[in-house]
Structure 1
């Protein structure tokens, strides 16, 4: 009695290899596209997080502007350069006065857009000069637009940022409680 041997013929193996090769070529074409889309999505999410963090920092500063637990004189908020530079004062240590620019406890703060970067400085009463600190990473993020518009005690904050090919705009309304 002879037992039939089970297995694939040479022709069946060649067909299976051809089908497998076609599938591998198809997958090879779509993999770079998937990786590129994944990179774009990661950039967009990181851009959104960066702009939200910057926006939150600016909103807190704008809400604090004008706070004083005593007799403070001078403007609490100054918008310069078409709103792309914001100078603020608030009584951070609650001692009843705004410490001047020359003091180590100065209550003067500034935020400005310069060369595609958002910058901040404490103890500043002008949008010019050196010593400003970047709040953004120029290797990843470029701020294309920063603007604050005052409408009474309401402030409108506009931020537009770019990371690679991704661009995102954020707008927030802030109530200046102490203005």
Structure 2
């Protein structure tokens, strides 16, 4: 006994191809949307990571503010321009004093927001000087706001930035043990 082998008919093949074409067109319409959403998500994650890294650097500096292994004179923390410029002092080499401006091992540090970028400088005691270094890449990230507010020994760090259409804001509370 032989079983008759039979393939698809022309009509069945045309119908299958039509259904496949409709499916491919519908998938093709959603692919650019899916790719755009993927790009936005990647930008948001990268922005979040960048801001968290910057906030971690600032948090570490703010925790150090006021440390002195002896008798240090002067303010440990100065907030200028509504907290968008922060001047700090800590005894980095534990020699019992805060080295001033112009010293090769100065214990004065500054962080400021300028033109959408966060900047840092060592050996500075005012916010309007030149020579500050950017902590952020202007080709990728714009910092919208940076501020530090003080309540006794507690500090509130606020940092917000954007990349394209993605916005992220961070708030961190820091205990300044040496303030």
| TM-score interval (norm. to shorter) | over 0.9
- Residue 149 of structure 2: aligned partner: 149
Q: Deviations over 1:53-85 (max 9, x none)?
A: 011100110010010001110111000011000
Secondary structure of residue in 2 paired with 1:39: helix
* Unaligned 5+ runs, structure 1: none
Q: Offset of 1:2 from its aligned partner? A: 8.8
Alignment of 1:74-85 (within 5 A): 74-85=74-85
Deviant stretches of 4+, over 3 Å: 1-5
- Residue 103 of structure 1: aligned partner: 103
Q: Offset of 1:154 from its aligned partner? A: 0.6
* Unaligned 5+ runs, structure 2: none
> TM-score by structure 2 length?
0.97
Between the aligned partners of 2:43 and 2:2, the Cα distance in structure 1 is: 67
- Residue 93 of structure 1: aligned partner: 93
Between the aligned partners of 2:133 and 2:6, the Cα distance in structure 1 is: 76
Between the aligned partners of 1:93 and 1:14, the Cα distance in structure 2 is: 81
Say what the alpha-carbon RMSD is for the aligned residues: 1.3
Q: Deviations over 1:95-148 (max 9, x none)?
A: 000011111100000000000000000011110121111111111111000000
> TM-score by structure 1 length?
0.97
Distance 1:72 1:7, change over 3 A: same
